[in-house]
Structure 1
Amino acid sequence: MLGTTVLIASTLVPQMGGSHGDKARVIQSLLFMSGVNTLLQTWFGSRLPVVMGGSIAFYISVLSTINDYTDRSFSSEHERFTYTIRTIQGSLIVSSFVNIFLGYSKAWGNLTRFFSPIVIVPVVSMVGLGLFTRGFPQLANCVEIGLPMLILLVVVQQYLKRIVHPAVGHILERFALLMCIGVIWAFAAILTVAGAYNTTKEDTQLSCRTDRSYLMSSAPWIKVPYPFQWGTPIFRASHVFGMMGAALVSSAESTGTFFAAARLSGATPPPAHVLSRSIGLQGISMLLEGIFGSVVGTTASVENVGLLGLTHIGSRRVVQISCAFMIFFSIFGKFGAFFASIPLPIFAAIYCLLFGIVAAVGISFIQFANNNSIRNLYVLGLSLFLGISVSQYFVGNTTVDGHGPVRTNAGWFNGILNTIFSSPPTVAIIVGTLLDNTLDAKHTANDRGIPWWVPFQNRKGDVRNDEFYSLPLRINEYMPTRFL
């Protein structure tokens, strides 16, 4: 969680005019809300062992908000920061009702009924492959740290466990990631103290040094995030519409991540009613984030789903216990700041493995459909290619101030379209669902894997659905089914 959280804060807060202290408080708020939202999602939402974390899908709308206040005069940079984040708060609060409506009206669940294994393959694969820029490109910013981390993790986690005693191999499989982070982090600290980066470029120092986050000195010892900590939210229609597009994107990305998590944890594919309530609860989480002052909304964490495959631990309880650590690090800032000093190339090396596992899980869904059908290959190929190509075009042509390729006179319209088409999973959902349900769909049901898929999409279609997704404390028995 720290890698993505620090990346979001380090990218956005300086552009908002915030200081290192502001960045530390933003990180604390993001971690606190991640812990709370993960608890809510594992208890009352998807019920899958999925961690909820900050989403980069909100970047474009946040950058647009930042740009609107760049030329306005403020008495200080800190005032510009607080004014900007209060506007972001207002946009998050209003846009949260998009997910709440989509979820609790069951509109999102009804949409997912049009999915088949042919649609799920590109959607889940794009959840992993769509984040390729956070892998080796960031690793290469400090290759002397990132590359050893990648090689060491593969060797220890996959090769070394096969030549040692089975009991030791079991430990390596579970804890190789933590061990490798400790070793490479110590190596990076030694290089920093030894002065290896004293004369290098500023960008290299930011990526390689362990003391460039400035969080240890600026983070408070104890600081409890509280509602409206930055002030009263500011509501502006032009920013709200852009944030609504990000809310839609976060729903699409979370849906693909939920399917990957279910596959890796041994659960049945999440039924439509489970996806509806999880997206609705994600909207409530976004509402809380607006109230508590996060700079972005949350989505299901792809890297932590990849960790399910890497460690073979698919326990909901483990994820819930980890929430205690998130909340602890968010309140006791010095502890969180200490771990946040891990250089980002170390996280990038980890992402190369974790995102790859998620992408491979998506490909594995093809086994439930006919691999030899030219019709299926057509839908898969076009969905996969356009998912990467269209989103890369929009990202590559988006300026630093958040203006994308769609530039009409209606700013709200630009924000929605630029955000939606910058997301690979969202593009894959649009293209895959449209093609799969219009290209000779009725006569190719068996080739599409529909007979295998349909039982999992109904509440009583498979006896295992209730085993995996029923709410705790026998809540199901006391609530009307339309609310479940």
Structure 2
Amino acid sequence: MMTKDERKQESKTSDVDTIILNYRIDETPPWYLALFLGFQHYLTMFGSTLAVPIIIAPALCVTDDVVVGKLISTVFFVSGIATLLQTTFGNRLPIVQGITFSYLVPTFALLSQPKFQCPGLKDTNNTENSTSNSDEIWQIRMREVQGAIMVSSLFQILIGFTGLIGFLLRFIGPITVAPTIALVGLALFPVCSDYAAKHWGIAIITIAVITICSQFLSRIKIPLPTYSRLKGFHTTGVAIFGLFPVVIAIIVSWIFCAIFTETDVFSATSKARTDSRSSVLSQSPWFRVPYPGQWGTPTISLAGVFGMLAGVIAGVIESVGDYYACARLSGAPPPPPHAINRGIGVEGVACLLAGAIGTGNATTSFSENIGALGITKVGSRRVVQCGAILMIILALFGKFGAFFSTIPDPVIGGIFCVMFGLITAVGISNLQFVDLNSVRNLFIIGFAIVMGLVIPDYLNKNAGVINTGVDELDQIFTVLLKTSMAVGGTIACLLDNLIPGTVEERGIKEWRKLTADRATSNVASIHVYDLPFGIFNKSKFSKFIPFLPYYDDETEVFNMAERGSYSLEIPS
């Protein structure tokens, strides 16, 4: 095995575009540095994770901000467990698992059914009995969402552990992925306007701070004390503005809101006031452990399950792409089939757990944290595991989640405007591999996106238009057709596979080439994907099980490398 200095020296003379890492996937920083870097991962995923329970609360008819705090704590708790499962028993890449926006659209579609319309609740938190009634109103809806997530996650477990994901990916290219992911952001624009409209001035300040930090100041480094094995304790420049633009924006805008609240610039009923939810902190418990069934026994409906499958498919597609990106940025060889299969399967298990505990959502790989790997040049698996432990510990303190539920609505609205725009752009970015001079491609992309918006909008404005005579079937079609990503993604996938086109024209050739690219000099052994403690790593029957590692001999490893599946480096 080469030392780090030897890898760096070789990379200087290599013709391959390589990434020099401070710590590779199989290397462990000192414990104190690992904790600090792990906390940085926590902060990186903080903004997106915080957003989901806040978005979903009104759809669940939640009227108590204490409940929102409990949802936030539950989400972080489950994210920490899911990350530990993935990094230990899943694909074993340093990839953070967090809550996903992909499930929001089908969730809103499910909760838009007439039987789940929110009643006109007044502030009934003055009596114990009325609080109980209020809780039952939103918990009924939460249990329906939980059941849909749990059953649909079984599909993800199935396609992962059976190896079916490899077969399904043959029919999915950038023309399918682009509309599917883009429609996640486009379909959520009403949420942006609802929150930002509470006070557009504060929302614009939030947007401006995020823009300035992430686009203009992202390369400015602030000297901070740090430690390395070569230099010991010293100061180094850290791109604080580029790493934490969302956190900085929340702090700055919150300060403005506090000033305007104290000076009575805001009216007494304004949602921009910092004291509008001040009672939440005193009402929230100091210590609370989320557990399966905390909101009651989940309920199941076919409509909810079929709708959530759209979120599962979008999450799987996104995760597979994230695996390849994470591998390259962490100094690992491209993930072999068994690691991808196991990663998707374990994500399904984590989604099942998220549904059972009741986050109101599911988990998937976090692209934001993959970007953090590239910025920090630290790809250590141990660092991400430290971050996961911090997520779990902090989530146990009830007042921690309650504190963040008091963020003023227009601040959240400003964050949503930027975040959903970024999600839309990430989907569109997949079209860089596609021939956009092709009328065939332009027709499929444009038609899929427009129909993904038109059909759900039509059904929202014309309730009961689907009438097959079977109530269950009506609900299934309604939820599916109200889910924009399901409509757009299905149309794009069908047309892309039915209308004649070359692999170059469809962008599949360049797309697959990108996922096969790898750095040859700063790469770890293929055995970083093996299960821990030597579980099944040398069993002869492993070759018959698609999620277990199997290497017949060194020649087999070389053959896999020639196919672009593995690194050429074999440990001595």
TM range (shorter): 0.7 to 0.9
- Pick one of 374, 399, 402 that aligns with 1:337: 402
What secondary structure sits across from 1:300 in the alignment?
Answer: strand
Q: Counterparts in 2 of 1:112-261, with a 5 A limit?
A: 112-160=169-217, 170-200=239-269, 205-206=270-271, 208-209=273-274, 211-212=276-277, 214-231=279-296, 233=297, 235=299, 239-258=300-319, 261=322
Would the alpha carbon gap of residues 160 and 206 (structure 1) be closer, same or farther in structure 2, given more than 3 Å must change? same
The answer on whether the counterparts of 1:109 and 1:273 sit within 8 Å (CA) in structure 2 is no
Residue 425 (1) aligns with residue 471 (2): no
- Please report how far the alpha carbon of residue 430 of structure 1 lies from its aligned counterpart in structure 2 after TM superposition: 0.8
Residue 305 in structure 1 maps to residue 367 in structure 2:
yes
Task: Give the counterpart of 1:357 among 415, 422, 427.
Answer: 422
What is the DSSP-based 3-state SS (H/G/I as helix, E as strand, rest coil) of the residue aligned with 1:437? helix
Secondary structure of the 1:388 match is helix
**Given the alignment of the two structures, is residue 2 of structure 1 paired with residue 50 of structure 2, yes or no?**
yes
Summarize the Cα distance change of 1:223–1:136 in structure 2 as closer, same or farther, 3 Å threshold: same
Q: 1:211 is paired with a residue of what secondary structure?
A: coil
C-alpha distance after superposition, 1:147-206 (max 9, x if no partner) = 011112212332245688897683322234322321111211222333333344xxxx33
Question: What corresponds to 2:443 in structure 1?
Answer: 378
Task: Show the counterpart of 1:33.
Answer: 78
Q: In 2 relative to 1, CA 104–146 (structure 1 residues): closer, same or farther, beyond 3 Å?
A: same
Uncovered stretches (5+) of structure 1, i.e. residues with no partner? none
Question: What is the match of residue 109 of structure 2?
Answer: 60
Please name the residue that 1:470 is paired with. Answer: 529
Within 2, Cα distance between the matches of 1:255 and 1:122? 15
The 2-side partners of 1:411 and 1:269 are apart by 47
Equivalent residue of 2:264, what SS? coil
Matched, 1:448 2:500: no
Superposed displacement of residue 226, structure 1 = 2.2
Q: Distance in 2 between matches of 1:282 and 1:175?
A: 26
Contact 1:260 1:361 in 2 (8 A): no
Structure 1 position 299, deviation (Å):
4.0
Identity %: 29
Q: Hey, what does 2:568 align to over in structure 1?
A: none
Contact 1:270/1:456 (<8 A) preserved: no
Aligned mates of 2:205, 2:452 — CA distance in 1:
31
199 and 153 in structure 1: CA distance in 2 versus 1, 3 angstrom threshold: same
Question: For the Cα contact (< 8 Å) 2:351–2:363, is it kept in 1?
Answer: no
Please give the alpha-carbon distance, in whole angstroms, between the structure 2 residues aligned to 1:366 and 1:136: 28
Are the counterparts in 2 of residues 207 and 345 from structure 1 also a CA contact under 8 Å? yes
User: For 1:368 and 1:343, how far apart are their aligned partners in 2?
Assistant: 41
**How far off its partner does 1:334 sit?**
0.6
Is the contact between residue 272 and residue 457 of structure 1 (CA under 8 Å) also seen in structure 2?
no
Offset from partner CA, 1:280-332 (integer Å, 9 cap, x none)? 3343223323432x15231437xx53576599548575654443343234210
Structure 1 residues 222 and 86: alpha-carbon distance in aligned structure 2, compared to 1, 3 A threshold: same
- CA distance in 2 between counterparts of 1:300 and 1:210 reads 34
Which deviates more from structure 2 when the two are superposed, residues 89-98 or residues 264-273? 264-273
CA contact (8 A) 2:95 2:369 kept: no
What is the CA-CA distance between 1:96 and the residue it aligns to? 3.6
Does the CA contact (< 8 Å) of 2:69 and 2:405 recur in 1?
A: no
Q: CA separation of 1:243/1:164 partners in 2, compared to 1, >3 Å: closer, same or farther?
A: closer
The CA distance in 1 between the partners of 2:167 and 2:78, in whole Å, is 29
Measured in 2, the distance between the counterparts of 1:145 and 1:281 equals 41
Does the 8 Å CA contact 2:324/2:515 hold for their aligned counterparts?
A: no
What is the identity, as a one-letter code, of the residue corresponding to 1:34? S
Instruction: Report the alpha carbon displacement of residue 333 of structure 1 after superposing the two structures with TM.
Output: 0.6
Does the 8 Å CA contact 2:207/2:414 hold for their aligned counterparts? yes
Gaps of 5+ in 2: 1-48, 121-129, 224-235, 549-572
- Does the Cα contact within 8 Å between 2:70 and 2:402 map onto a contact in 1? no
Secondary structure of the residue that 1:141 maps to in structure 2? coil
Query: Who wins on radius of gyration, i.e. which is larger?
Result: 2
Q: 1:94 to 1:361 in 2, by over 3 A?
A: closer
Q: Structure 2: which amino acid aligns with 1:33?
A: V
> Distance between the aligned counterparts of 1:299 and 1:36, measured in 2?
10
* 131 and 82 in structure 1: CA distance in 2 versus 1, 3 angstrom threshold: closer
Structure 2 distance, partners of 1:137, 1:367, is 33
After TM superposition, the structure 1 = structure 2 runs for residues 282-321 of structure 1, keeping only pairs within 5 Å, are 282-292=347-357, 294=358, 296-300=360-364, 305=367, 313=375, 317=381, 320-321=385-386
Helix, strand or coil at the partner of 2:99: strand
Q: Which amino acid aligns with 1:31?
A: F
Higher helix share: 1
For 1:104, which of 161, 170, 176 is the aligned residue? 161
How far is the alpha carbon of 1:417 from its aligned partner?
2.5
CA apart distance, 1:440: 1.2
Structure 2 length normalisation: TM-score?
A: 0.67
Shift in Å, 1:227:
2.9
Q: Write the letter of the residue equivalent to 1:343.
A: P
SS in 2 for 1:477: coil
Q: Is the 8 A contact 1:45 1:274 kept in 2?
A: yes
Q: Which moved more, 1:270-279 or 1:242-251?
A: 270-279
Distance 1:298 1:154 in 2: 29
Q: Is the 8 A contact 1:48 1:262 kept in 2?
A: no
Distance 1:169 1:275, change over 3 A: closer
